[in-house]
Amino acid sequence: MENKHLTPLYKTVVGVQFLFVAFGATVLVPLLVGLDPSTALFTAGIGTLIFHLVTKGIVPVFLGSSFAFIAPIVKATELYGLAGTLSGIAAVGVVYFLMSALVKWQGVKLIKRLFPPVVIGPVIMLIGLSLAGTGVNMAQEDWLLAVISLTTAIVVSLFAKGLLKLIPIFAGIIVGYIAAMLLGRVDLTGIAEAAWFSLPRFEKPEFSWGAILFMIPVAIAPVIEHVGDIYTVSQVAGKDFVKKPGLHRTMLGDGLACIVAGIIGGPPVTTYSEVTGAMILTKVTDPAVIRIAAVTGIVFSMIGKVSAFLKSIPGAVLGGIMLLLFGMIAATGINNMITNKTDMSNTRNLIIVSLILTTGIGGAVLQIGNISMTGIGLSALIGVILNLIIPQDKEKVVS
Give the pLDDT confidence of 297-313 residue by residue, as tens digits: 999 999 999 888 888 98
Q: Is the bond into 245 cis (omega within 30 degrees of 0)?
A: yes
pLDDT of 4 above 70: no
CA distances to 167, 190, 202, 267 from 27, rounded to whole Å, are 13, 18, 15, 10
CA distances to 133, 141, 228, 399 from 89, rounded to whole Å, are 23, 30, 22, 44
Residue 371 confidence (pLDDT): 63
Please give the span between the terminal C-alpha atoms of the chain, in angstroms, as a whole number: 52
pLDDT in tens, 8-43: 887 888 888 888 888 878 888 898 888 999 999 999
Cross-strand partners of 368: 371
The whole-angstrom separation of Cα 86 and Cα 28 is 18
Q: Provide CB contacts within 8 A for 256, sequence distance 6+.
A: 50, 51, 54, 93
Nearest Cα to Cα of residue 57 among 293, 226, 296, 287: 287
pLDDT in tens, 73-96: 988 999 899 999 999 999 999 999
Compare 353 and 133 and report the one with higher pLDDT: 353
The whole-angstrom separation of Cα 178 and Cα 185 is 10
- Percentage of the chain exceeding pLDDT 70: 96
- Report, in angstroms and rounded to the nearest whole number, the Rg of the chain calculated over CA atoms: 21
Residue 56 confidence (pLDDT): 94
pLDDT of 176 above 70: yes
3-state secondary structure of 65: strand
pLDDT of 399 above 50: no
Phi, psi of 60 (to 5 degrees): -80, 75
Q: Provide CB contacts within 8 A for 350, sequence distance 6+.
A: 344, 397
Beta-strand pair 371-374/365-368: antiparallel
Q: Provide CB contacts within 8 A for 128, sequence distance 6+.
A: 326, 327, 328, 329, 330, 331, 332, 333
Residue 385 confidence (pLDDT): 92
pLDDT in tens, 100-115: 999 988 887 887 888 8
pLDDT of 262 above 90: yes
CA 242 from centroid of its chain's CA atoms = 21
Nearest Cα to Cα of residue 15 among 48, 56, 51: 48
Q: How confident is the model at residue 394 (pLDDT cuts 50, 70, 90)?
A: low
CA distances to 63, 96, 142, 201, 275 from 302, rounded to whole Å, are 18, 29, 31, 10, 22
Average pLDDT over residues 218-238: 85
Q: How confident is the model at residue 1 (pLDDT cuts 50, 70, 90)?
A: very low
Average pLDDT over residues 352-363: 92
- Are the C-beta atoms of residues 52 and 241 closer than 8 Å to each other? no
